[in-house]
Structures are given as structure tokens and as C-alpha cells.
Structure 1
Amino acid sequence: MMNRVCMGTLATILMMAHPAAAEPVGRGEKRQVRDALELFYLDRGIYDPVRCRVEDGGEPERTWAFCAAVGGDSSIGGLYMVAPSEGNTGVVWAINGKAIQHIGDGAIQIGDIRQNAIVVTRWMGEPINIGPILAIFE
């Protein structure tokens, strides 16, 4: 497993490669991101049970993931922006305060041994109006 410094460098390189994550993500990759995020939430005991959804939307259209507790307030959860994979590594950015709180400082790697690595890091790009994005998941 990579350490946080190495993954932070990797996430920075990926952010430069996909500064706006403007391309929609394929169906198989969406399932992979959803499964890896759900496993992350369950392993960390953040939400149990948890449901993560991955949808396209927004202006311009991007791919988003939202994870919330099943049976809880479905408007409270972690919002992520998903970029298409670059080789064997995908990148997901934590967008809202909950997602940033969930991943902690730096970058983390999620997924299991059957999946390609997914690096999750904090979004450091232009501010994003999350209201319309969260409406996709209502």
C-alpha cells in the first residue's frame, strides 16, 4: 500500500491530467467507484449501512458520487467528483465538507485487490456550487 505522501503526489499528477474531470465516466467504472466507496465507508464504520450512488449531471456535465447512511437523512453525506481512469488508477475528489471529513488529511487509496486503485483526495480546483449537484441525488 502506498503511503500518504506518495499518494498525494500521485493525486496531484492526476488532478493536473484531469483538472475539471469534464469527461463522463463509463458504466463499469461507475460501478467500481460505487463499490470501492461503499467498502471504504463500511470499513471505516462511517455509515453502516451505506448507499453510494454515481450519476452524471451538472453544467458542464460531470460524474458525481454521493454516499449517505441508509435510513438516515439522505441529504447528509459525502459528495465526490469522479474522473475517468488514467491507466490503472482512478481519481475521485472529495467535494463537500462531509466527504473531506470522511477521507481525512491528504489522499487515500480505496478499492480491493480485485479492483484497480482509486485515489481519493480533496478538491483544490475552482469552487463548485454543490446545490444543483446534490439535487441530482434527491
Structure 2
Amino acid sequence: MPDVLAASAGMGAMDAVAARVAAGDTVDFRPRGGSMVPLIRSGDLVTVAPVVAARVETGDIVLVRVAGTTYLHLVAAVDHERQRVQISNNRGRVNGWTSHARVYGICVAVAGRPRPRTAGKSP
């Protein structure tokens, strides 16, 4: 059963969520910010489950660490041969490439609505 993070997830809390998801937990939390609108609005309850990074696709929303910062952002491009993904927000800003090892989870629901194409991507 998913666990609800007690506090809203700001940037510091995102690292704690990532650690829990990387450890195998499915976590519900409320991220803050407007970079993913309209896919995720600030304060929406999201559910993030562990993911097999080799299974992610362009358009998936993942919990990931890029250049020292943890984000809940879109997969903009995939390079499975080099085992990496490119991450961006929903406003066109590219955060950069990161390795599969830094892809912690996949967003499986937003505000109670299941996200498409997430089946079979969790271990």
C-alpha cells in the first residue's frame, strides 16, 4: 500500500522521497511548483512507484536525479544503448541527461488518475 509523505514535497523532501522509492516503496506525495502544469499541478497528490529504468519511454514522468537535483519530470529522450535518459519539464526546459541508475521511480497516478503506459515498468 502506498504511503503518504506527511509534508509537502519541496526540493529537500524530494531527496527523501527518492530514497524511499529507490528502496522499493511506492510513495504518495504532493510536489510543489508549476513546471509540470497541466500534467501535474502544484500540490496534486502523485503516486510514484519503483521503476526499471530500461523500460521508460519518452513522455513518462519519472522521479530522477539530474546534475545534483531530484526532479519529478518528463523523459524527453531515451538512449538505452548508453543507459541514459534526457529529462525536461513540461515547459520546454531541458534539465539534461542522466544515467539509468539515477532514475528512481515512475509516476503511476496524478490526483487519483492513472498515468498511461506505466504497466510493466515496475520491478
Normalised-by-shorter TM-score class: under 0.3
TM-score normalized by the length of structure 1: 0.25
Name whichever structure is richer in strand by fraction.
2
TM-score normalized by the length of structure 2: 0.27
Larger radius of gyration, structure 1 or 2?
A: 1
